[in-house]
Amino acid sequence: MINIKKLFKISTVSVIILMGTASSVYAEKLRLGHVTPPSHIWHQVSERFNDNLKEASNSKDSIMIFPLSKLGGDDQMIDLLQSGALQLAVLTAGSLSNRSEAINAWFLPYLFKDVEDAAIATQSEGAQKILADLKDHKLIGLGYTLAGMRHVISSAPINSVNDFKGKKIRSFPNQVFNAWWSDLGAAPTALSIGDVSSALTTNLLDGVDVDLDIVVGLKMYQQAPYLTMTNHMAFPGIVVASEKWWNKLSDEKRAMVLLAFKEAEEWGYKQQIAAEVSNLELLDKAGVTINYMDSEKLHEVGRNIVSKYTEKNSETLEFVNQIYKEIN
């Protein structure tokens, strides 16, 4: 297994040492919003970020965390960030893809074989350029946090690619996701994650395109006891700060915040790699029927989508080429 620490220019030890020198700046109680439940890795990384920041500031600074869209969805949080009313957020890369076409590279099918591959890609030049370009939208990209790989949980068994045809699959409202499910003959359906369980119960949905953290956190398997391990996409969150707030900070405080997050970012990758195993074990013990699907048809559809999106956007092609160099 790759030592994730080697991916980072700043080690955990140096983070702690450097943070200890940056505790004299003025105190703040910051707010951070995200859309996932408290059990999800994005929330755990946010908590780790808060712990680091409190330690670095001798408890002068802290972060209030608002999960499950309590401050609104991604678009509402972006408005708050741009106005300076919100300091921090974990935003889905999918929502930010409406502002930067290159972000769609993260969702290209079968670009990554696992979370470890995706973690390596976060440190690539292309991934870091995506963060830097967020300044065009009055956001400061601090880094990434990775959910698990995408699979399908459903109310009825899915044993072959043909079983996807005509199925209503809850999918993230993004053009790559829509292309993926449409090309498989399914009906991609946009729905708030909080409404998914009831929609499965009432047959408004047949299945959900989802990571295992969400399945476990919201106990989706109680309504949909069949898990098809397609492993078709990664799903990063992008941790951002309000540019309006960031510009008011001293260089010292910016360094403190960034270092506090960077240790949490690295920690989160390690946690999620382990969670991919523990979540699957939990679902197996809960009686979920688990089917592994590695169909050539899935990969064929994936290759077509990769070709389409790399041909239409040079930045996406450049990012994909960099990722292949990093992980191979």
| Domain containing residue 268: CATH number | 3.40.190.170
Domain membership of residue 163 (yes or no) is: yes
**Which residue, 117, 93, 125, is CA-closest to 106?**
93
**Average pLDDT, integer, range 188-209:** 94
Reported pTM: 0.90
Q: Phi and psi of 153, rounded to 5°?
A: -110, 140
> What confidence category does residue 313 fall into, taking pLDDT thresholds of 50, 70 and 90?
confident
Domain membership of residue 96 (yes or no) is: yes
**Average pLDDT, integer, range 213-232:** 96
Look at residue 193 in the predicted model and tell me its pLDDT.
Answer: 87
Q: Is the pLDDT of residue 109 over 90?
A: yes
Query: Is residue 202 located within the same domain as residue 94?
Result: no
**Average pLDDT, integer, range 294-304:** 95
Query: Is residue 214 located within the same domain as residue 248?
Result: no
Domain membership of residue 20 (yes or no) is: no
Query: Is residue 265 located within the same domain as residue 204?
Result: no
Look at residue 104 in the predicted model and tell me its pLDDT.
Answer: 92
**Average pLDDT, integer, range 101-112:** 93
**Average pLDDT, integer, range 226-247:** 98
Query: Is residue 223 located within the same domain as residue 183?
Result: yes
Q: How do beta strands 151-154 and 226-229 pair?
A: antiparallel
Domain membership of residue 6 (yes or no) is: no
Query: Is residue 316 located within the same domain as residue 223?
Result: yes
Look at residue 8 in the predicted model and tell me its pLDDT.
Answer: 55
Range of the domain at 69: 25-147+236-281
Domain membership of residue 186 (yes or no) is: yes
Strand-pair partners of 113: none
Kindly report, residue by residue over 58-68, the tens digit of the pLDDT.
999 999 999 99
- Alpha-carbon distances of 212 from 57, 115, 181, 202, 272, rounded to whole Å: 35, 12, 19, 22, 10
Percentage of the chain beyond pLDDT 70 is 92
Domain membership of residue 85 (yes or no) is: yes
Name the domain count of the chain: 2
Kindly report, residue by residue over 115-133, the tens digit of the pLDDT.
999 999 999 999 999 999 9
